[in-house]
Structure 1
Amino acid sequence: MTAEDDHTPPEPPRRRTRALLPDLAPWRSSRDFRLMWTAGLVTAFGSFLTMVALPLQIKELTGSAVAVGAIGAVELVPLIVFGLYGGALADAVDRRKLILATEAGLGLLSVLLLVNSLLPDPMLWPLYVVAALTSALMGLQRPAIDAVVARIVPHDQLTAAAALNSMRWQLSAIAGPSLAGVVVAYAGLPFAYGLDLLTFVASLLLALRLTPAPPAHDADPPSLRAIGEGARYAWRRKELLGTYAVDMAAMFFAFPNAIFPFLADDLDAPWALGLMYAAGSVGSVAVSVTSGWTSRIHRHGRMVVLGAAVWGLAMAAAGWTSNVWLVLLCLAVAGGGDMVSGLFRATIWNQTIPDKLRGRLAGIELLSYATGPQLGQVRAGTTAGLTGARVAVWSGGLACVASVALLAVALPRLMAYDARTDEHARAVRTAAPHQ
């Protein structure tokens, strides 16, 4: 046999391309996943409009970076309390009903923002009240949404489902902030809040078509004891604990979104504000639309750490450079790193947590996912007030890299996690109703 005879033909370009494209299996196999994906796309688009409009309105009313950063402090306590309770509630009631009730409540809060913005002299305090109530309702809703995914998507498609959900979110994050800059500049804040309200109405109508998701017949009622049971389970699972800790550290030290208006001013580029909010999502979408490779990765813990480190390094570079286009590029790279980390965090959670605890663990995950950014806004706003916006960005990025490296050393089970051999993944895979 000659060397030519032994040569394996290269993989056709078309096949290589398909291997990179996102896996659409969850979309094809689950009607409920399609409904949730579409409803989430609609409501996230409106929420990102408000995400830009609200801090911009506070900036216009106060001119203070600390006042803008205080949004995170106002949202923190409701998020902690209602996030944990929402997790226990998601294990005890019909998750569909919980999603519907909270979505309606969020729509009502958009009405309040709209009414306040139409006043001759809009008031400041209602903005903080609405931010706190929004945080409470999101704390109640998010665990139910996260917990229902593993019920409606086959176990072997959960990584693909996480990629599609992330792509949906990030597409909204690109279009929402980019459009918000135009809407606020040419149509005003009331129009932005009004669009947000319409998206909640549309998503509520879609969610009404979801299949009921009742709790197990022996489900525990929501209580401190039930919450404690979930917390004890998470503590025993050090690889789970590591995913929460890495995410919180990355967001606390390197989430500077609240001070983007001031960073844009420092760079003499106020026109770039909407692009700054959207840049991270561009990087995230780039990872999502080429996420076919993710289903072939099994050492998910290592990817969680690597993605968080890339996020921190890119944020540090964004703070160092004074060229606005390089800043936007760095923010896009940071978004890609965050997407990689988040995608594999979600895979570990969905593939290893038993259904009866999934709501409570989703509540704990919500704290790691959302508490970090809220604290990060406070850190960024306070640091920017003392040292300037650019220092706040690059110093936080370096602190993120250092903290993630320390956590990787301190939690070896996270780095050793392998979905093929992990006992918890095998147990959930065996019990999965779709297999």
Structure 2
Amino acid sequence: MPNDHHSPTRPSAASPPADPAPSAPEAAAPWYRRAFADLSPLRDHADYRRVWVGQAVSSIGQQMTAVAVSVQVYDLTRSAFATGVVGLFSFVPLIAFGLYGGVIADRVDRRKLGLIGAAGLAVVSAVLAVQAIAGPGQVAVLYAAVAAQACFFALSSPARSAMIPRLVPSHQLPAANALNTVSMNLGMTVGPMLGGLLIGAYGAQSAFLVDTVAFTGTLYAMWRLPAMRPLGGEGKARASVLDGLRFLREQPNLRTSFLADLAAMIFGLPRSLFPAIAVTFYGGDARTVGLLVSAPAVGALIGALFSGWVSRIHRQGVAVLAAVAAWGLAIATFGLLHNLWLGLLLLALAGCADTVSMIFRSTMMQVAAPDEMRGRLQGIFMVVVVGGPRLGDFESGAVAALTSPATSVITGGLACVAAVLLLAARRPAFLTYDARHPTP
């Protein structure tokens, strides 16, 4: 039943929701309804619904802010290098504070940590708006703001992710993770577009102001949540990053899911080659680069929107490896066929496969790991997600320098498939992982 009956006063601590079997009407729904994303977590659980809406809105706002910062830095410096340094000021805090944020999430009330993170991000966006309104601004201020944003995001993101199993029952977690992917990719596709329109019409300050206001949704959602202290918290005061790494090393199924993701991002993500590919494959320009960059996000969004089937898959280990292999095959084929529209379609298919992999990997981590370890695992997951693509940029660029962009893309995709086959051979128990009897 929907739980939209909390009073505005401080709610009591939350325990994981009951886990009944799916209702008969849902099981008997027509195939075309079951093909679309399962909205039952939004319909049945008001706490999750508020969190999801708040995150979707704030994700759009944050992407608008990212565009506005890049535009401001370039306007001030006329330097592509200075604009690229923005990513460095974001990357380092995400790595450093992501692990630490996971530790904190396993020590304190995750609701409070989510509130602090959302409030901090809102304040940084307000500061960016003020500096944009006040005058031409300074690059150092923009860099500092980006670093502060990354710190607040990294500290609170593991806590927000670790909350999800406390907001929906385990049989709805695949649907909830699919919906989270929808909100993330909505931000990545809609945010930059709206940001560009607003900045062009009213200046960078308009994007910063919208982002500031957008955080009210997340703040309200976190405020309405019950307390989210880690369960089994008798050892939480001693929680450390090393504990999380030891736990991951000792849990073969979770470790294999992390390795599969790393294989996809390191070997099968030719993002750094898109400018060269646009020219050498298609004779294109910056607009072609934009299409190549956006195609995987569009595919990921489509995959999430048509994810109604994921809750019916129990062999989630097989699903992860199949999705990562599909990603690698799509990327390798992209390197072989130098037709723009086929290339965009293949990149979209890769993005769709990545969404499937992410849904099942997140579900396995949330269900198979004990609650008191979820924050640290989410912190490690953030480091993998942030660091993997950067390693992939280096790998694809190095191979391209030694051979050619096409060779780099093809061999990277095939290496991703080979890594999946190796993982399947080395860890056959991962293929038998059953969501109905989860083992980490």
TM tier relative to shorter chain = 0.7 to 0.9
What secondary structure is seen at the aligned counterpart in 1 of 2:227?
coil
Partner of 1:332: 348
Runs of 5+ unmatched residues, structure 2: 1-27
Partner of 1:238: 252
Q: CA deviation at 1:404?
A: 3.8
Contact 1:20 1:290 in 2 (8 A): yes
Is residue 170 of structure 1 aligned with residue 212 of structure 2? no
Q: What amino acid does structure 1 have at the position aligned with 2:256?
A: G
Q: CA deviation at 1:396?
A: 4.6
Superposition pairs of residues 399-410 of structure 1, within 5 angstroms: 399-410=415-426
Cα distance in 1, alignment partners of residues 135 and 377 from structure 2: 45
What secondary structure is seen at the aligned counterpart in 2 of 1:92?
coil
Q: What amino acid does structure 1 have at the position aligned with 2:367?
A: Q
Contact 1:35 1:206 in 2 (8 A): yes
Judged with a 3 Å threshold, the aligned counterparts in structure 2 of structure 1 residues 108 and 25 are, in CA distance, closer, same or farther, namely same
Contact 1:230 1:360 in 2 (8 A): yes
Contact 1:71 1:377 in 2 (8 A): no
Superposition pairs of residues 184-333 of structure 1, within 5 angstroms: 184-216=199-231, 218-221=233-236, 226-257=240-271, 267-271=283-287, 275-318=291-334, 322-333=338-349
Judged with a 3 Å threshold, the aligned counterparts in structure 2 of structure 1 residues 417 and 51 are, in CA distance, closer, same or farther, namely farther
Q: CA deviation at 1:45?
A: 0.9
Contact 2:67 2:192 in 1 (8 A): yes
What secondary structure is seen at the aligned counterpart in 1 of 2:375?
helix
Cα distance in 2, alignment partners of residues 185 and 46 from structure 1: 16
Contact 2:41 2:175 in 1 (8 A): yes
What does the per-residue CA deviation read over 1:149-173, in whole Å, with 9 as the maximum and x for residues that have no partner? 1111112111111112212222222
Q: CA deviation at 1:187?
A: 4.4
Partner of 1:32: 47
Judged with a 3 Å threshold, the aligned counterparts in structure 2 of structure 1 residues 123 and 380 are, in CA distance, closer, same or farther, namely farther
Partner of 1:417: 433
Partner of 1:432: none
Partner of 1:17: 32
Judged with a 3 Å threshold, the aligned counterparts in structure 2 of structure 1 residues 396 and 121 are, in CA distance, closer, same or farther, namely farther
Contact 2:165 2:366 in 1 (8 A): yes
Superposition pairs of residues 321-360 of structure 1, within 5 angstroms: 322-360=338-376
2:383 to 361, 367, 382: 367
Q: What amino acid does structure 1 have at the position aligned with 2:254?
A: L
Q: What amino acid does structure 2 have at the position aligned with 1:289?
A: L
1:137 to 135, 139, 152: 152
Q: CA deviation at 1:298?
A: 1.5
Q: CA deviation at 1:71?
A: 4.8
- My pick for the range that moved more, 294-303 or 380-389, is 380-389
What secondary structure is seen at the aligned counterpart in 1 of 2:314?
coil
Is residue 79 of structure 1 aligned with residue 103 of structure 2? no
Partner of 1:90: 105
Contact 1:178 1:274 in 2 (8 A): no
Cα distance in 1, alignment partners of residues 306 and 94 from structure 2: 33
Q: Give the total of aligned pairs.
A: 411
Q: CA deviation at 1:274?
A: 5.2
Q: What amino acid does structure 2 have at the position aligned with 1:373?
A: P
Cα distance in 1, alignment partners of residues 39 and 310 from structure 2: 13
Cα distance in 1, alignment partners of residues 326 and 285 from structure 2: 26
Cα distance in 1, alignment partners of residues 197 and 361 from structure 2: 34
Q: What amino acid does structure 2 have at the position aligned with 1:308?
A: V
Judged with a 3 Å threshold, the aligned counterparts in structure 2 of structure 1 residues 121 and 371 are, in CA distance, closer, same or farther, namely same
- My pick for the range that moved more, 238-247 or 14-23, is 14-23
Q: What amino acid does structure 1 have at the position aligned with 2:44?
A: S
Q: CA deviation at 1:38?
A: 0.5
TM-score by length of 1: 0.81
Q: CA deviation at 1:240?
A: 0.3
Q: CA deviation at 1:403?
A: 3.7
What secondary structure is seen at the aligned counterpart in 2 of 1:417?
coil
- My pick for the range that moved more, 229-238 or 195-204, is 195-204
What secondary structure is seen at the aligned counterpart in 1 of 2:382?
helix
TM-score by length of 2: 0.80
Contact 2:296 2:349 in 1 (8 A): yes
What secondary structure is seen at the aligned counterpart in 2 of 1:243?
helix
Is residue 149 of structure 1 aligned with residue 141 of structure 2? no
Contact 1:307 1:340 in 2 (8 A): yes
